[in-house]
Chain A
Amino acid sequence: MTKEKKNKLIDIALLVMMILPFVLCMVLKVLTTPASEGIAISGALIYFEIPMPLMPLYITEVQVTSLAVIISITALCLYLTHGIKVIPDSKRQLVAEYIVEKVNFLIKDNMGSRYMAFAPFIAAIMGISAFSSLSALLGLFPPTSDMNIVAGWGILVFIIITHYKLKGGLFPYVKGFFEPIPVFAPFNIIGEISTPVSMSFRHYGNVLSGVVISTLVGSALGGLSEMLLGWLPGFLGDIPFLRVGIPAVLSVYFDLFSGLMQAFIFAMLTMLYIATGFPEEEYEKRQAKKKKKALSAAQ
């Protein structure tokens, strides 16, 4: 009895931990957003800045929302796997198993079973990207419409890709830049660097275009409302009635569809880049050579 009660309490605490960060973010946003007239397309609000070498670190809405996303996903993971049993008796365990199975299947399908350790990473990319984009539905500034956030992910993915390419040895990696003829080296290098840039710009541009278009449509609807319904007496004339509901239609495409789609595409491209960049033949050759060396050293 007491154990059941305790489990229930933990569940409720986890659920609260899942929702509370976003609520706090919304409260903070409402309290700090300056009342402004007209169109304001700008980056995130800066709460305060910390002096650092090179350039100051700005703590903005984006950082706060990212933190909320991480806390929320952690709480969600804990909630899904809390009280997990061999014979499932709760829906959330089925959900957790469904997620894990789907991600594992995706990895096996696109990368091969050698890369099964990447499953949590891909799940993390999908989760953080989807949650960040969907936070726009709550009226928050979506972290994915900040260049820095997506650039960070892109750079991490680029580091992993390069690490896997270097597994075939440094020489084949460098040699790869001078193919098919040495003149192509600059283009190859640009192509290599463009991988993280294009990945992050794709994601960032999609979400940002949604934000920009939503803002433009919102302000246009406000102006239209003032023009059409401005004759209403008293404060009724000041309320932009046309802004109610209509921007939600755009939100379905730009926030829901585009956000989830970009999360999936980012994860997919990560998988494909890692799997195709890995030089299997060179790696096998190198492993065989190493084994031979170890054998001869042992003798």
Chain B
Amino acid sequence: MLELAIGIILAGCAIGAGLALIAGIGPGIGEGNAVSKACEAIGRQPESKGAVTSTMIMGCAIAETTGLYGLVVGILLIFVAPNSFVQILMNNLPK
């Protein structure tokens, strides 16, 4: 019975981590948009390449934050959460 409970916890954590990384889609699309627009801008005005590039990198790095939230949650679920969840389970077992 205990093994089953721990197994469910681990499976839940793993599935949760996988779902959390879906958050990576958003920044991927967003950064792709940003880069394509930057390419267009550079194509239209090649002389403003430096300014466009630095602004684009800055914006990309900020847009990446949402993806990183997902990453942090995923890391939490894989490396930290199982231990603490199992601990909670152990503490609440009927003696």
A and B touch in the complex (CB under 8 A): yes
Q: 0/1 per residue, A179-215, Cβ < 8 Å to B?
A: 0000000000000000000100110111011001000
Please give the number of chain A residues whose Cβ is less than 8 angstroms from any Cβ of chain B in the complex.
17
A209 to B71, CA, bound (A): 8
Residues of chain A contacted by B72 (CB below 8 angstroms): 201, 204-205, 208
B residues at A contact (CB < 8 Å): 57-58, 61-62, 64-65, 68-69, 71-72, 75, 79
Whether A265 and B79, one on each chain, are in contact in the complex, defined by CB atoms closer than 8 angstroms, is no
Whether A202 and B62, one on each chain, are in contact in the complex, defined by CB atoms closer than 8 angstroms, is yes
Residues of chain A contacted by B64 (CB below 8 angstroms): 202, 206
- Residue A1 lies at the interface, judged by CB distance under 8 Å to chain B: no
Whether A198 and B65, one on each chain, are in contact in the complex, defined by CB atoms closer than 8 angstroms, is yes
Residues of chain B contacted by A198 (CB below 8 angstroms): 65
Whether A205 and B79, one on each chain, are in contact in the complex, defined by CB atoms closer than 8 angstroms, is no
Whether A205 and B71, one on each chain, are in contact in the complex, defined by CB atoms closer than 8 angstroms, is yes
Whether B61 and A265, one on each chain, are in contact in the complex, defined by CB atoms closer than 8 angstroms, is yes
Q: How far is the CB of A258 from chain B (nearest CB, A)?
A: 8
Q: How far is the CB of B20 from chain A (nearest CB, A)?
A: 12
A residues at B contact (CB < 8 Å): 41-42, 198, 201-202, 204-206, 208-209, 212, 261-262, 264-265, 268-269
Q: How far is the CB of A102 from chain B (nearest CB, A)?
A: 14
Partner of A209, one of B57, B68, B79: B68
Whether B62 and A265, one on each chain, are in contact in the complex, defined by CB atoms closer than 8 angstroms, is yes
A265 to B55, CA, bound (A): 11
Residues of chain B contacted by A205 (CB below 8 angstroms): 65, 68-69, 71-72
23 A-B residue pairings within 8 Å (CB atoms): A41-B75, A201-B65, A201-B69, A201-B72, A202-B61, A202-B62, A202-B65, A202-B68, A204-B72, A205-B68, A205-B69, A205-B71, A205-B72, A206-B61, A206-B64, A208-B71, A208-B72, A209-B68, A209-B71, A261-B61, A265-B62, A268-B58, A269-B62
Q: How far is the CB of A125 from chain B (nearest CB, A)?
A: 16
A202 to B63, CA, bound (A): 10
Give the residue name and chain of the B residue nearest to A147 (CB). B72
Partner of B79, one of A42, A206, A264, A268: A42
New A-B pairs, 18, CB < 8 Å, besides A42-B79, A205-B65, A212-B75: A41-B75, A41-B79, A201-B65, A201-B69, A202-B64, A202-B68, A205-B68, A205-B72, A206-B64, A206-B68, A208-B72, A208-B75, A209-B71, A262-B61, A265-B58, A265-B61, A265-B62, A269-B62
